[in-house]
Each structure stands twice: as C-alpha cells, then as structure tokens.
Structure 1
Amino acid sequence: MSHRLPAALAAAFLLAGCTAQSVKAPPSTVRPPAASAPAPAGTLPDDNLNAVAWSQTALEHDLIYLQTYRDAEARLLAAVADPNWDALPKDDRVAPAKGLKPAIVLDIDETVLDNTPYQARLIKSGGEFNEADWAAWCKEQRARALPGVVEFTQFAARHGIAVIYISNRAKDLDEVTLANLRQEGLPVAGPEAFLGLGTFVEDCEQIGSEKGCRRQLVSRKYRVLMQFGDQIGDFVTVLANNAEGRQKAMAPYTGWIGSRWFVLPNPTYGAWEPALFNNDWTAPREERRRQKIQSLRFD
C-alpha cells in the first residue's frame, strides 16, 4: 500500500544496492550551492520545507519504513512464542501479562498514515498547525498508508495478534480515522482498536497528551509484543520535554530498540522541536527559529 514505492521497485533498488557499486551523485545534489537567493524582505524561510520534501520524495524515506516493518515481521512470531516477552514499560504494565492475548501497538500519524500533504499545505500557505485545519484534513480521509505497514499488520492479524492504534488524534475523529485505516487496507477489529486522545481510563490520571494511561488500558487485556512510533512518547511517558528528560525516559529501554520498540523517522514535527525552545509555542516564529539555530553544533 505504499503510495510512493511499489514492491517491485523497492526490490529492484535493494538488489541493485547489493550487487553494484554506488555511483556518487554530482556535487550539486549532495550539498547546497555556495550562495542562495535571499528570502523576500520580512519573510523567514520555512523550516519545514526540506523535511516535508524529503519525506515525500526521498526513496531513502520509503526504504527505512520497508526495512523497519520487514524486520519487525521477521521477529514477530518468535516474540509470540516467548511467554515472557512484553514491550510495555514497567510503569504501564498494570496487569500480569501471562496468559493474555498478544497484541502490537502502533501510533498512527507518520507511523501508519502519511500526513505530509497537510504539512505541504501549511508550507504553501505560510501558516502553522492549528486544530481546525488538522481536523478538516483528517476528515478528508486521504492520508495514505506508509510503506510496509499494511503487509506487516495484516501478517500480525493473520496470526491472531491484535492490532491496536494509540493516537493523539482526538477521540471525536475516531470514525473518520478508522475509515481511513480500513480504506488503506489496515486491519481494524472495531472501534476499540483506536485509542484516541480523550479516551477515559479508570484510575489513571492523564498527563497532557501522554499515552501512558492508554498503554495501561491495553495492558489489562493484552501482552504487547511490539510498539511502533515516530515519537519517544509513543513508547514511554516523558515527564520533562527537554534533552535531559527525553534521555532519562528512554535510557532504561535502549536495549529494546529494534526488537520490541521500532522508531520511525519524522523530521516534520514532534516533541523534539519544542524541546529546542523551552516548549514555548507562544514565542514568535522568529524567536523559535533563533533558538533552534542556537541549539545546533558547529564543531
């Protein structure tokens, strides 16, 4: 169901990479020119342009997704066979996993569905994310499945593994989201397969948009074999969204990367960005951009 990379084409590229020496691209394709035209007076360059262009057009992007989901599929049945295998953080495992039905847990946006057309629209209009436009995009049900995910989730479903989607799409977008997933060929067992933002979880205090309570809800019914996402918060609760807090949240679980947790690339948005400007979205765009530049390494 890749919208950019048919399976035969992916195979051809992968085979070529194994059998032939790579050909260096002309210098102009691997580094920017020495000088570029300045932006019009009063207009800042759009920080998201290259990120969205890469996500939509770079073959490397599609190959990363294919590689990730194919690798997960190759490991999945071994995870099912190991009764001690569980991919939930210890704080989210609130019921014993032994004897529970196996499941995989996936984020939706930029993990399962591609929303870069929405990001491209923002670049074209010069606007920024807002809930109304985002909801309108979701209701169009035009997001396409990312490479490899349909084949992987269908493989899981065929082997009796529940496919659960935990997303920060608002709960009132559940019907259009489930319809979008189904039309792209993703297995959806029913409304309970989608745990959106606003899902009530008894005896659990929701922290902002963190997914911990919903992972705890899943833990009451399932032994989670694998988790997939494009943000650290898709896997574990991040209490402080800064460099130190993000490192601290992930540190106990780095050994799970590539076996229980599978992280996908998203340079277009995510918690990593506001961590660079103290999570202050009220700051003017110019100030946010200045702080992002200040965060760069120059040696």
Structure 2
Amino acid sequence: MSVRLSAALAALVLLAGCSTTTPTKAPAPTAPVAPVAAPAPTTPADDNLNAVAWSQTAIEHDLIYLQTYRDAQSRLLAALADKQWDALPKDDRVAPAKDLKPAVVLDIDETVLDNSPYQARLIKSGGEYNEADWAAWCNEQRARALPGVVEFTQFAAKHGIAVIYISNRAKDLDQATLANLRKAGLPVSGPESFLGLGTFVEDCEQIGTEKGCRRQLISHKYRVLMQFGDQIGDFVTVLANNADGRQKAMKPYMDWIGTRWFVLPNPTYGAWEPALFNNDYTAPRDERRRQKIQSLRFD
C-alpha cells in the first residue's frame, strides 16, 4: 500500500469517527450576579467646602466688603451732620438720641474679623462647631481684618465717632478679642468698645443670644449713625427664627439698608441655617441636611 493511500484511509477513519461523536451539551445558565451596592457617600451632611473656599479665595468676596465699607464711609459725615439721624431700631432706642455722642456699631465675626481658618479646620477634621475649639481659635488672636473695615473705622474714629463692637463671643473672651482687634489695626478706645455675650444690662432681660439689651445699653450714651453685621440679629431682635419671623423683623427697616444698616455676606454659618431645620441642632446631621435640601427651590 502506498503512503498516499494509507494517508487517505486514515483520513476516512478520522471523518467517520467525527460523524459519530455525541454533541457536547451547552453549559447550564448561571444565576445572575447581584449588583454591588454603591459605597455610602463620605461627604459630611453639612459640608461647608464651597462656602469657605469662596470666602477665602474669591476676589468677589473681598470686593463686596470693600464696596460696602467705602459706600458707608462716603455717607458717614452726612449722617453725623444730621442731628435727627439714628440707626437704632425703635425698640432699642430707650433714651432720647438728642445731644448724645455719635457712634457706629459693628458685629465682629465675619463683619470685622475673618474667621474662615476656623471653618477650614472644621472641614479638614469633619467636625462641627463646639465652644471649646472656638474659644481656642479666638485665643490665638490670629483673625485678620476683613477688606475695608480698618479704613472705615479709623476714618470714623478720626472724626470723633466712637467705634463699638457688639459680638456674641463670650464675655470671657473680651481680652483676647480686644487684642486681636488691635493687632488687626482696628481702633479700640477701651473695654466698653466690646460688648460680648453675657454683658449685664440693668432692667433688660437677655433673650438667648439676641443683642437687643446691648443695643439698649448703647442707646443711653450714643446716637448710632450706622450698624454693620452679617446677620439680621446684628441689627434688630428676631423673635421667631424662621422664614416668616425673619421677614417680619426686617420689614419696617428695609429703607435703612445701605444707608443706616450695612449687611455683609456669610455663607458659612449664621441664624439663617438653623431656621431651615426648625432650630433643632439635636437632629442628626443627615436629617438637618435633608431638611435643608427640602427648603430649596427647583423651578
């Protein structure tokens, strides 16, 4: 038998074997794999990153402060010359303003001094405001003056106008606060320049952290030409810290905005925030966040 024939016979045998092979069964279908749950978000429920970043890096932030204090300075001497001019709300003007010395009244935090480094530390740590850490920051005396305020307050002092700071910093922080103000270049005439939380005012009942009693104390000695603050409670007593209550408190004084009252921006904290979750700081952070989202407009 030739080699060629042997090869042909071998091929026929191989083909025959293939034709009788049992087909292979298809693999059984496997059960579908359950989707992996997405990891829980790691962003804190009240993350303040954008607000603090804007406060520290956006030139628009600085321009708003410069614009406000420059505008106020351009109006200050006219207010001084007008003997009927007074910037205290009617409930706080408990003594006649006639013949009293002139003054301007300023809140401190985020109105005069920039505390955004403290807010930045909270972002880094993931924590929330607490009195111990806040007091430690105040005692560092490192807060910088906000744009325009040094020039404005020095201009006021130069023209015989007292500069008074009303703050909800605790009274035991008065020495550190006064030292910080001086370091930042702000005029401080003495201890009475700073009226902190806990300042005793005879015959006036303190309502929480409201500043009405301290404004009344000022009204006995000064005709107030202008007020400055980053919250409406810096100007007038807010009896109900909710949307309606805040509107009601401001309604009688809307014409004073930009003439007697100068409001500065603060997106990082303030009474506006707890007004969104019924002032309940005992609620979990996620629940506070849910209520804040619920307050947003989507059209």
Q: TM-score range by the shorter chain?
A: 0.7 to 0.9
C-alpha change, 1:245 and 1:39, in structure 2 (3 Å) is farther
What's 1:251 paired with?
251
Distance 1:92 1:39 in 2: 54
Is this contact kept in 2: 1:39–1:45, CA < 8 A?
A: no
Distance 2:127 2:135 in 1: 15
Question: 4+ residue stretches of structure 1 with deviation over 4 A?
Answer: 38-43
C-alpha change, 1:158 and 1:287, in structure 2 (3 Å) is same
What's 1:273 paired with?
273
| Two-structure CA RMSD over aligned residues (Å) | 1.1
* Larger radius of gyration between Structure 1 and Structure 2: 2
Is this contact kept in 2: 1:228–1:263, CA < 8 A?
A: yes
- What SS does structure 1 have at the residue aligned with 2:286? helix
Give, in angstroms, the shift of residue 45 of structure 1: 5.5
Is this contact kept in 1: 2:46–2:285, CA < 8 A?
A: no
Residue 288 of structure 2 aligns with an amino acid whose one-letter code is R
What's 2:69 paired with?
69
Distance 2:45 2:86 in 1: 44
Give, in angstroms, the shift of residue 47 of structure 1: 2.6
Distance 1:44 1:202 in 2: 43
Is this contact kept in 1: 2:51–2:267, CA < 8 A?
A: yes
Q: Deviations over 1:8-65 (max 9, x none)?
A: xxxxxxxxxxxxxxxxxxxxxxxxxxxxxx9864553653110000000000000000
C-alpha change, 1:50 and 1:219, in structure 2 (3 Å) is same
Q: Deviations over 1:200-244 (max 9, x none)?
A: 000100000000000000000000000000000000000000000
Structure 2 residues without counterparts, runs of 5 or longer: 1-37
C-alpha change, 1:97 and 1:239, in structure 2 (3 Å) is same
What's 1:32 paired with?
none
Distance 1:40 1:221 in 2: 57
What's 1:239 paired with?
239
Residue 97 of structure 1 aligns with an amino acid whose one-letter code is A
Q: Deviations over 1:49-107 (max 9, x none)?
A: 10000000000000000000000000000000000000000000000000000000000
C-alpha change, 1:97 and 1:287, in structure 2 (3 Å) is same
Distance 1:201 1:209 in 2: 14
Distance 1:48 1:213 in 2: 32
What's 2:5 paired with?
none
Residue 273 of structure 1 aligns with an amino acid whose one-letter code is E
Q: Deviations over 1:247-294 (max 9, x none)?
A: 000000000000000000000000000000000000000000000000
Is this contact kept in 2: 1:229–1:264, CA < 8 A?
A: yes
What's 1:6 paired with?
none
Distance 2:41 2:129 in 1: 24
Residue 181 of structure 1 aligns with an amino acid whose one-letter code is L
What's 2:136 paired with?
136
Residue 149 of structure 2 aligns with an amino acid whose one-letter code is V
What's 1:212 paired with?
212
**Count, aligned residues:** 262
Distance 1:194 1:43 in 2: 38
Q: Deviations over 1:166-215 (max 9, x none)?
A: 00000000000000000111000001100000000001000000000000
What's 2:146 paired with?
146
- What SS does structure 1 have at the residue aligned with 2:92? coil
Distance 1:50 1:87 in 2: 34
What's 2:179 paired with?
179
Distance 2:216 2:174 in 1: 20
Distance 2:260 2:162 in 1: 15
Residue 235 of structure 1 aligns with an amino acid whose one-letter code is F
Identity level (%): 87
**1:81 partnered with 2:81:** yes
Give, in angstroms, the shift of residue 108 of structure 1: 0.1
Distance 2:219 2:41 in 1: 54
Distance 1:83 1:190 in 2: 26
- What SS does structure 2 have at the residue aligned with 1:109? coil
Residue 190 of structure 1 aligns with an amino acid whose one-letter code is G
Structure 1 residues without counterparts, runs of 5 or longer: 1-37
Is this contact kept in 1: 2:46–2:289, CA < 8 A?
A: no
